[in-house]
Every structure is written in structure tokens, then in C-alpha cells.
Structure 1
Amino acid sequence: MLAIIAIILIVLWLGGFALHVGGGLIHILLVIGVIVLIVHFLRGRGV
């Protein structure tokens, strides 16, 4: 589930660059997506 959310956030971030919308918001989406992916992989390997 976390991986799906992260992928959606990253796709929205890439789409924002294509449409030139939102400046800082787009970078926040990228950071949130990367953090969610890292947490997902760390939990997956630890369990």
C-alpha cells in the first residue's frame, strides 16, 4: 500500500514538472514519495 502511494506521489511530481505547476508543492510531493518508499523498503526487509 505504501509503495502505491509513493508511486502516485512521484507520478504527480513528474506531471507537475510537465505542466509547470506548483513550484514548492511539487518538491514536497517528491520528498514525501521518496520517504514513503524508503520506509516501505526498510519495513519489508526488517520483517
Structure 2
Amino acid sequence: MLSWAVTFLIVAIVAGLLGLTGVAGTATQIAYVLFIVFLIFAAVSFIMGRRPPVT
């Protein structure tokens, strides 16, 4: 998911350089949302961690 966020960020930067503000804004928002979702999943994974099986 982080790779998709980086991809959309690169698309946004290239679109911004070319003057395509609508595409750049949309790609930036998508990259932001994907990055936030990645952070949430990473935090949950870190908190849950590896727990020993309950017997």
C-alpha cells in the first residue's frame, strides 16, 4: 500500500510540473488517503504483534 501511495505522489508531482492541477490535486489526495490507511494498518500490526497461541 505504501508503494501505491508513493506512485500516486510521483504522479501528482509530474502532473503539477506539467500544469495539470486537477490531476495533481486528485493524485495528491489519493496518495494522502493511501498513506493514512498504511499508517493505520502498520499501527494495528505493531500493536497486535505476535502473541503466543491461547491454549
Greater per-residue helix proportion: 1
Structure 2 spans left out of the alignment, 5+ residues: 46-55
Residue-pair matches, total: 45
Shift of 1:24: 1.6
When Rg is computed on C-alpha atoms for both structures, the one with the higher figure is: 2
Give 1:32 shift: 0.6
Indicate the residue corresponding to 1:18 in structure 2.
17
Query: Normalised by the size of structure 1, how large is the TM-score?
Result: 0.84
Residues 1-47 of structure 1: pairs in structure 2 closer than 5 A: 2-21=1-20, 23-47=21-45
Per-residue CA deviation, residues 2-37 of structure 1 (Å, 9 max, x unaligned), is: 00000010011011111112x222101100101001
The runs of at least 4 consecutive aligned structure 1 residues that moved more than 4 Å come to: none
Q: Percent identity?
A: 13
Higher relative contact order (CA 8 A, sep 6+): 1
Cα distance in 1 for partners of 2:15, 2:23 equals 9
